[in-house]
Amino acid sequence: MPKYVYFFGEGKAEGKGTLRDLLGGKGAGLAEMTNAGVPVPPGFTITTEVCRLFYKNKKRVPGSVKKQIDKHLHRLEKAMGSRLGDPEHPLLVSVRSGAKFSMPGMMDTILNLGLNDKTVEGLIRKTKDERFSLDCYRRFIQMFGNVVLGVEKSVFEEVLQGKKKERGIVQDIELTASDLRDLVARFKDTLRHHAKADLPQDNYRQLEMARDAVFLSWNNDRAIFYRRQYNIPESLGTAVNVQAMVFGNMGPTSGTGVGFTRNPSTGEKEFFGEYLTHAQGEDVVAGVRTPKPIRQLKGEMPLVYQELVRITQRLERHYRDVQDFEFTIQQGKLYMLQTRSGKRTGPAAVKIAVDMVQEKLIKPEEAILRVEPDQLHQLLHPRIDARANVKVIAKGLNASPGAAVGKVIFNATEAAEAGKRGERVVLVRQETSPDDIHGIAAAQGILTATGGATSHAVVVSRQMGKPCVAGCSAISIDEERGQFLANGVIVKKGDMIAIDGSTGQVMLGDVPTIQPDIQELEKGEYGKLMRWADQFRRLGVRANADIPRDAIAARHNGAEGIGLCRTEHMFFAKDRLPIMQEMILAQTPEDRKAALDKLAPMQKEDFKGLFRAMGGYPVTIRLLDPPLHEFLPKQGELIAEIQELRFSQGDRSVLHQKEILLDRVEQLHEFNPMLGLRGCRLGITMPEITRMQARSILEAACELSREKIRVYPEIMIPLVGTVEEFRHQKQIVLEVAETVFKAQGVRVQFLVGTMIEIPRAALTADEIAKEADFFSFGTNDLTQMTFGFSRDDTGKFLPKYLAEGILDFDPFVTIDQEGMGQLIRMGTEKGRQSRPDLKVGICGEHGGEPLSVGFCHTLRLNYVSCSPYRVPIARLAAAQAALREELKTKDRRPKTRRRRSKSSKS
């Protein structure tokens, strides 16, 4: 019989051959702390395997598993000297989730389970504390009613607030035993009214229902959303931890808190956290009350504080990572309830990783693997412009750094909808709950009136890199009126505000922000981490850039060349578009060439700017790709303008020109322009275009070469499907090159390659590679053609595909390795069979997505190319792919490594 239940401390939770996959992160931490002699209330873990069985077995736990649960429950009862349901010595337990990967607040918890109308009286007799016992009971009814029976939290909260209003009090702790007894009765009535059920009085039945509710919470909306945000597999499941309760609500010498061994916002090596006296854990993490900074505990309970620091520092050394811990103090005695690797901001992740290398806790390889590539975006967060004249209207806790500016929205769903429309919003809430995750993800920033820097929602905001100001008691929110009041200032829904998550300030209006200085970042921990990453990665990283400004930004971010310059973007400038339209309207090749001759000097200067910015790194220039109609006015607009001119008897010469333009637009009209006259087909039907662009590229290269500036042009023929298409265009480029070199009196090295974006090109890559010097996979179009999806129309069905699990991810964001990825694999392998030294890269936006970068590493591509601002993400992802491959193959290299040569970067 497989083992499905583990008592805390059974088995090995960490290291080689661990049970972490079965116990989940929380269960593994509790087991490890128990084995280390840390004060942990006893309990047991029902494994993730049971969760998978639960879903396979029509959402029922098999009888064989129930027997193991009963056995471990009896062991827990023996350890505690009390029994579940015993009216004289009742055992109270917490029932908590715990997946392999931390998902803070996304799944459910039930505290104080084991209470009913009889056991609560037994608890009163045992503790001689009626108020404490009834407080536990009303908390249990509220949590059980919400998590297990599905009654909204707000329903119970309304009853609670109504009682406090009757009594004229503000804080929960001001409620008397009599008040709480009345609340218990009201909560039971509320449960009966909304759930159409009574609170189960059988405590064993309570445990079964709570256990199943936690398993079901693995598939609640917020947990599913969170997993998709962070690529956590749906198949993992959650463990369930059943643990003896310890109580932080037993008076002034009791309390509960959450902390981190280092500051999760900044990474500073400081003891960071919050706590509440006379409270239970959910009071802190749910954000309902604003807790006290953990440093105040040193004054209130100095011995407990010292023990807490000692234990958590020991845990950090043991795990060699910053720890996120939960604790409860029961009448002066400390208990640890959880430890796990702490969620942290991007800046904190980088600082902690580098500091731990310097402290000799970890090696540079481990530091690289500790930072999620997408977290680097957060180092590039905008900040409030110091020169701006700002009106500060309130100040709260600086919970997550960075500046955010947007319209005030009070509802998470509205924030998510506004985000889809591209609007900037700041989500303003009394307190955020895990149910708000979709709104948090869409908002620029989050502002809350209550809650602390360790509440679940703030932890999630921090992980997502969202600026957050929490516990801002200076604001009073009135959701019914759609406004909040801040120190006499009324701010309404839709008004613009700014928040600074680094200082806690809230400002009125559309406050200007500025980007950080990359060159300054290079001098600190960020620069050190990225230099380590560059030492370990094999994959080169280039940027997609069309103008010198973007190329310079790419170089500052560490790009090793341009992997895609889209020349069509150069023709949309105001001074060029009329000439481009003149070329399109030309009736003869001679007239077309005359227009192109006007564009050629402008193109040449464009290319010189890019070559200069790249300073000797390769520059891949794609010849004209889009359909020509994109450079002309829309047909409907022209028809409307012509009708207006005819009706008003306007200028006849203008009317005539519009009619000629309309005639040409109608000639160029295509039913499916993305599969029509574009790419190499344009160059074949209008070879003058290819000649002009090739001449401009090579003349620019020759002129800079004479200035002793190194240039490496790579000319890319787009949309090739057959080797004959490529050969046709390549021949034109080679003929132009000879003419240019002869005229310039200088020769430069250059390559002619192709973009592989049509499936047929991948299938016949061995033939194309006999002619092409390099391949660059255009993964945007290749995805479109592989799936048969129109990029511009997927919004009509792709969200449904993702919600229904038809697709696990958006294939335009992450490479579809099983489908389109196999075309990349095939094209690369077939191409290198014909040309072993074939240079291969990708240049779609997938080039900056970490999972896609890892896939490109496994295929042994030469480089990826992405947006200039995703270059650091790609660099780090490439290093992580190399290190994970090394760990997987156990191919340990010497500690001293050589930097990669420039040739490997190219």
SS (H, E, C) 500-563: ECCCCEEEECCCCEECCCHHHHCCCHHHHHHHHHHHHCCCEEEEECCCHHHHHHHHHCCCCCEE
Tokens of 631: 């450079």
What would the mean pLDDT of 202-219 be, rounded to a whole number? 96
65-93 pLDDT, tens digit each: 999 999 999 999 999 999 999 999 999 99
* Residue 906 banded pLDDT, cuts 50, 70, 90: very low
* Residue 652 banded pLDDT, cuts 50, 70, 90: confident
CA distances from 491 to 429, 500, 503, 645 (A): 13, 17, 20, 48
767-777 pLDDT, tens digit each: 999 999 999 99
High-pLDDT (> 90) share of the chain, %: 66
- The sign of the torsion formed by the CA atoms of 25, 28, 32, 33 equals positive
Report the DSSP pairing between strands 618-622 and 562-566.
parallel
Annotation marks residue 456 as catalytic: yes
High-pLDDT (> 70) share of the chain, %: 95
Do the beta carbons of residue 688 and residue 584 sit within 8 Å?
no
627-640 pLDDT, tens digit each: 887 777 777 777 88
pLDDT at 12: 59
132-185 pLDDT, tens digit each: 999 999 999 999 999 999 999 889 999 999 999 999 998 888 999 999 999 999
413-427 pLDDT, tens digit each: 999 999 989 999 999
pLDDT at 286: 61
* Residue 898 banded pLDDT, cuts 50, 70, 90: very low
pLDDT at 369 over 80: yes
- The sign of the torsion formed by the CA atoms of 180, 186, 190, 196 equals positive
For residue 575, the tally of other CB atoms under 10 A from its CB is 7
DSSP label of 148: T
Nearest residue to 376 via CA among 465, 456, 450: 465
pLDDT at 463 over 70: no
Average pLDDT over the chain, rounded to whole?
A: 90
Nearest residue to 430 via CA among 392, 485, 391, 393: 485
Catalytic member of 438, 456, 629, 846: 456
pLDDT at 186: 96
pLDDT at 605: 94
Q: Is the model more confident about 13 or about 370?
A: 370
Do the beta carbons of residue 853 and residue 506 sit within 8 Å?
no
What would the mean pLDDT of 740-751 be, rounded to a whole number? 96
Query: Cα(51)–Cα(63) distance, rounded to whole angstroms?
Result: 14
Catalytic member of 680, 702, 843, 856: 843
Do the beta carbons of residue 871 and residue 558 sit within 8 Å?
yes
Query: Cα(546)–Cα(540) distance, rounded to whole angstroms?
Result: 19
Helices 577-585, 652-668: crossing angle, 10 deg rounding: 70
* Residue 763 banded pLDDT, cuts 50, 70, 90: very high
pLDDT at 32 over 50: yes
Query: Cα(447)–Cα(397) distance, rounded to whole angstroms?
Result: 10
pLDDT at 18 over 80: no
For residue 573, the tally of other CB atoms under 10 A from its CB is 13
Tokens of 466: 């969202």
Q: Is the model more confident about 100 or about 397?
A: 100
What would the mean pLDDT of 399-412 be, rounded to a whole number? 90
What would the mean pLDDT of 661-675 be, rounded to a whole number? 77
pLDDT at 903: 39
pLDDT at 282: 76
DSSP label of 361: S
Q: Which of 49-53, 137-141, 355-359, 372-376 comes out lowest in average pLDDT?
A: 372-376
pLDDT at 234: 86
Consecutive H or E run containing 66: helix 63-80
317-353 pLDDT, tens digit each: 999 999 999 999 999 999 999 999 998 888 899 999 9
Nearest residue to 8 via CA among 24, 68, 33: 33
Task: Give the angle subtended at the CA of 612 by the CAs of 606 and 614, to the nearest 5°.
Answer: 105
pLDDT at 556 over 80: yes
323-333 pLDDT, tens digit each: 999 999 999 99
* Residue 10 banded pLDDT, cuts 50, 70, 90: confident
Annotation marks residue 843 as catalytic: yes
Nearest residue to 236 via CA among 13, 18, 48: 48
Query: Cα(144)–Cα(146) distance, rounded to whole angstroms?
Result: 5
pLDDT at 195 over 60: yes
pLDDT at 316 over 80: yes
* Residue 17 banded pLDDT, cuts 50, 70, 90: very low
Query: Cα(879)–Cα(853) distance, rounded to whole angstroms?
Result: 10
DSSP per-residue string spanning 458-502 = HHHHHHHT--EEE--TTEEEETTTTEEEETTEEEETT-EEEEETT
pLDDT at 738 over 60: yes
What would the mean pLDDT of 515-536 be, rounded to a whole number? 92
